[in-house]
Chain A
Amino acid sequence: MRRFLLQRAIRAVLTLAILSVVIFALARATGDPLTLILPPEASAEDRANVSQELGLDRPWVVQYGRFIGHVLVGDFGISLYHRQPVNELIRDRLPNSMRLAGFAMAVAILLAFPLGVLAAARKDTLFDRGDQVIAILGQSVPTFWLGVVLIETVASRLQWFPPGDIGGLDHYILPGFTLGWFVVAGMMRLLRSGMIEVLDAEYVKLARIKGVIERRVIWQHALKNALIPVVTFMGMYFAILVANAIVVETVFAWPGMGRLAYEAITTRDFPVIQAVVLVAALIVTVANLAIDALYVVIDPRIRHAG
């Protein structure tokens, strides 16, 4: 078990290392960073000076070493647009994003579990059909459009919830729902197919023969094993959530990392984009690692192997 986790941890570190090389290479290969930093009318002398100051005249390996050295201590440079250290910007925005993502994930789990499990238990009934419609719609509705439509209908016409910006709990409803919607659909489908399979297994039959009441068979005996595929895909859902957050935060004017990224594209603020991508990848990787640890807890087959 310890070996399993150690292996995963090494993989995670390798993943981040590869990613840092990719970002560095993209930044350098796709254009001279000087054109982003300096105004177009800068003289050749200015260019040489800045280049030397930033170490851009040194070999690539040295530049990469410096880049990694800075990143490791949390120094992402200075935003070209905001004119303040990027890590200050991130420190301001990251908690807002985490709160929204946490809310969305909670919404998703609270909706997906009852819907998915009951759909499997009542397979082929009207309830199941309705569930399938919700699931397939969830995977087909573009998040940004859903956000725009909700703002127009629920927020502006009906005035049930505020249309955007951070605030009290009511501010979380619309963006949280928009962000969690996609995950609800996927999780529900996984739970349904997992439960249908498990409900057919020998040990579930045994439980039924022993006379365990059906509710317990479903929610305890079966659900425990149907959970494993859900946990496997949890990492993917989390990654999707992080990516979708950019769109949702932009639509709902949410002051988080996603909106920061959007502003950075419109102002071509490279240091910010670079930092957002690295932080997002770090979050996704750590989440995946946590999921591997969770595996060990819920699946004894892994706990006792190797």
Chain B
Amino acid sequence: MSDIPLSPIQRVLRRLPGRRTKGRVAGPPLIPLVILVAFVLAAVFAEWVSPGEPYRQALRAGFRPPVWLDAGTWSNLLGTDRLGRDLLTRIIYGARVSLTAGVITVLVATAVGVAVGLVAAYFRGRVDAVLMQLTDATLSIPIILLALILAVTVGPSFGNVVLAIAAILWARYARVIRGEALSLMERDFIALARVAGCSPARIIAVHLFPNILNTVVVLFTLQVGDVIIVEAALSFLGAGIPPPTPAWGSMVADGREFITTAWWVSFFPGLAILMVVLSFNLLGDWLRDRLDPKLRQI
């Protein structure tokens, strides 16, 4: 449609279900699903599927290029890093770190955020004002900065990364869930539950919560990818999961100094991040279109 306005008939035609169902609202995106399943399986069975051991160094085999380049060998498909550790093996073990960090963090943040959002929407008034003020304040702290403070004061660790990200991420859920729950509170079934003498806890748990589950699922999928990127960025900065644990972010950092001579050391771990995050985002987009189209803007 260029400069000519659509005729009424064209507009009606555009609304016919046949044209809408093709494209994004069809079945689940297959390639992202396959990629995610592959990474999850690799992470779970890392001991069996990886060709080598993640910590074994072979200093004389350092900076070996991937197999398809000159001087590459079949024993190190994606090459080796400075210390001669097999990159493919470390990427597989890194999947374990990234995926667990992502999922645990988002689980914690979801639990807190949903609770805060529902309580704020249910009680309104002063409780709502205080909780939302807290939410606003939390949202104004960049996650990376809080993680930096924790890294400097107590030292970097897996637990601190999860804590730092979850301590801020919950606020994003709280906002959205509160909005959702506020409109639910206007509905008749909540009033009826009240008349029937349900306690606030029961109304929140039995009547509100199940009705926001779709939103929770969509947010969860969309945020795991985000969290994986933040964790990787922290590890890259040296404020995340400390070496020698194979984390994708610190692996990219390891290769940064040698990027011109041994590009593969930085390239492949980053590619792994990209593939996993992209898959989560595509899957999340699909879920959102399916379950909760109102969330378009997140």
Contact = CB atoms under 8 A, between A and B. Distances in A.
Interface of A: 11, 14-15, 18-19, 22-23, 26-27, 30-31, 121-122, 124, 136-137, 139-145, 148-149, 151-152, 156, 190, 193-194, 208-209, 213-215, 217, 229, 233, 236, 239-240, 242-243, 246-247, 250-251, 261-262, 264-266, 268-270, 273-274, 276-277, 280-281, 284-285, 288
Nearest to B5: A208
Interface residues of B, number: 54
Contacts of B148: 246, 261, 264-265, 273, 276-277
B246 interface: no
State the main secondary structure of chain A at its contact with B: helix
B252 A145 contact: yes
Contacts of A281: 140-142, 145
B266 A148 contact: yes
Interface string B253-297: 101100110010011001001100110011001000000000011
Given A11-B136, A214-B2, A215-B3, A30 B154 contact: yes
Given A193-B296, A242-B142, A144 B152 contact: no
Contacts of A247: 144, 233, 236-237
A138 to B, nearest CB: 10
Contacts of B237: 246-247, 250, 262, 265
Contact of A145 (B139, B238, B260, B266): B266
B274 A264 contact: no
Nearest to B256: A148
B252 A269 contact: no
Given A142-B249, A243-B143, A247-B233, 5 more contacts: A152-B259, A217-B5, A229-B297, A246-B144, A250-B237
Given A215-B3, A265-B237, A273-B149, A15 B252 contact: no
A193 B294 CA distance: 11
Given A145-B266, A148-B266, A280-B142, A140 B274 contact: yes
A241 B145 CA distance: 12
Contacts of B270: 142, 145, 148-149
A148 B251 CA distance: 12
A168 to B, nearest CB: 23
Nearest to B296: A193
Main secondary structure of the interface of B (DSSP, over half): helix
20 contacts: A30-B150, A136-B281, A139-B277, A140-B274, A144-B233, A144-B236, A149-B270, A214-B1, A215-B3, A229-B297, A233-B297, A239-B139, A247-B233, A269-B152, A270-B153, A273-B148, A276-B145, A277-B141, A277-B145, A281-B145
Contact of B152 (A236, A265, A288): A265
A285 B256 CA distance: 34
B256 A251 contact: yes
Given A136-B285, A151-B259, A142 B232 contact: yes
Contact of A30 (B142, B143, B153): B153
B15 to A, nearest CB: 10
Contact of B277 (A142, A144, A152, A268): A142
Nearest to B229: A142
A246 to B, nearest CB: 6
B137 interface: yes
Given A140-B225, A214-B3, A247-B236, A148 B297 contact: no
A171 B243 CA distance: 32
Contacts of A144: 232-233, 236, 249, 252-253
A143 B140 contact: no
Interface string B146-166: 101111111000000000000
Given A19-B140, A140-B225, A142-B229, A31 B154 contact: yes
A243 B141 CA distance: 9
B285 A143 contact: no
A18 B141 CA distance: 11
A143 B233 CA distance: 8
B156 to A, nearest CB: 8
B118 to A, nearest CB: 22
B198 interface: no
Given A233-B297, A269-B152, A273-B148, A149 B267 contact: yes
A103 to B, nearest CB: 19
Given A141-B274, A145-B274, A265-B238, A23 B149 contact: yes
Count chain A CB atoms within 10 A of each CB in B134, B141, B145 and give the residue with the most. B145
A288 B140 CA distance: 9
